[in-house]
Structure 1
């Protein structure tokens, strides 16, 4: 799904949940809404900007909000308003919690499971873009996996590690070891900005990414 700020959301219907995607703010931040078909419970990933847009996006009904990492553009302009209006439970990677001004109800650790309605997301810690960045995996029992990567993995490369060699190595090793080595090519990747991709489309470039260092 490719969406742009001000455009209609993209929608992908799976057998047990619907994934919707909207772009908000000048940074074209992607916000995702996961809607459980059987319980109607909803989880939002990265309530980044334009709170009224996001509240309309979820029909002002929301059970959980996960912030993929502490960078301000993924929470500063909408998270507090969205949580205040819906009472949603907040989640974020434990090392990033101090960098998010909105209180985090549930700090996340590698391997944790988030349950919303009848679906589950597995937490995958990806250290490098920030200390506590997380990816979220929905392993569709009736299809292929779906992976929400925040700013850690995009079409064409990893997230920015701001010239820090150690941070890049950490992020590359986490992405390669925890994602590419464990998930199939058909895994759909939903990043924090821009268009979607698949692991199969990106896998041939891993060696190039390691050499170039970004």
Structure 2
């Protein structure tokens, strides 16, 4: 079966096999959060994007394979409710932007900034700081083709900025300059909630997003 990114609460993971990386997506918790397990195909090392909830399900997804890092995309509680338990069980390094790190329930052992990198085995992920949804929201980019956006970019728009025009302008500008202006239409977007999308599917709506202000 080909990967679609369509998952449901308590349903199975949807798995995408890339030449260097396996991506497994599940939905956890009461807010429909997505969690992603990235595993290097060369070394077997793993990285979890957002230990959002349901620690037992996340640990089941991780299984017996090693996991060296847990990346939290931003400070909102629904994205880290299982972080302490999964960190304790796995001994994984905790990764987040320093502006959001103080709000997390465990110390961040590896703070990352815009332009930095996170590795999982032989795989390198680029860190993109997207300011606005929270001060320290980050996205992770693999090979300019696979983008994990947390709550900063979804099908149909950028993340919630609570009606704050300045925050919306900052997030919209970052998303356009740091994502759409840099990456091609084929880039696949893995968001923090709901269905996946591509930059090509969203690009025609950018002016609409700017005009409506959300």
Asked if TM exceeds 0.5, the reply is yes
**Which residue in the other structure is 2:13 paired with?**
9
Distance 2:153 2:196 in 1: 10
**Which residue in the other structure is 2:116 paired with?**
112
Q: How does 1:150-161 map to 2 (within 5 A)?
A: 150-161=150-161
Distance 1:208 1:108 in 2: 32
Q: Give runs of ≥4 in structure 1 deviating > 6 Å.
A: none
Deviation at 1:108, TM superposition (A): 1.1
Does residue 22 of structure 1 match 2:36? no
**Which residue in the other structure is 2:175 paired with?**
175
Distance 1:25 1:131 in 2: 24
Does residue 199 of structure 1 match 2:212? no
Distance 1:83 1:132 in 2: 20
Distance 2:55 2:105 in 1: 16
Which of 92, 95, 103 aligns to 2:96? It is 92
TM-score (norm 2): 0.96
SS in 2 for 1:95: coil
Gaps in structure 2 of 5+ consecutive residues: none
Distance 1:172 1:102 in 2: 30
**Which residue in the other structure is 2:43 paired with?**
39
SS in 1 for 2:57: helix
Distance 1:11 1:101 in 2: 29
TM-score (norm 1): 0.96
Gaps in structure 1 of 5+ consecutive residues: none
Does residue 68 of structure 1 match 2:73? yes
Deviation at 1:161, TM superposition (A): 0.2
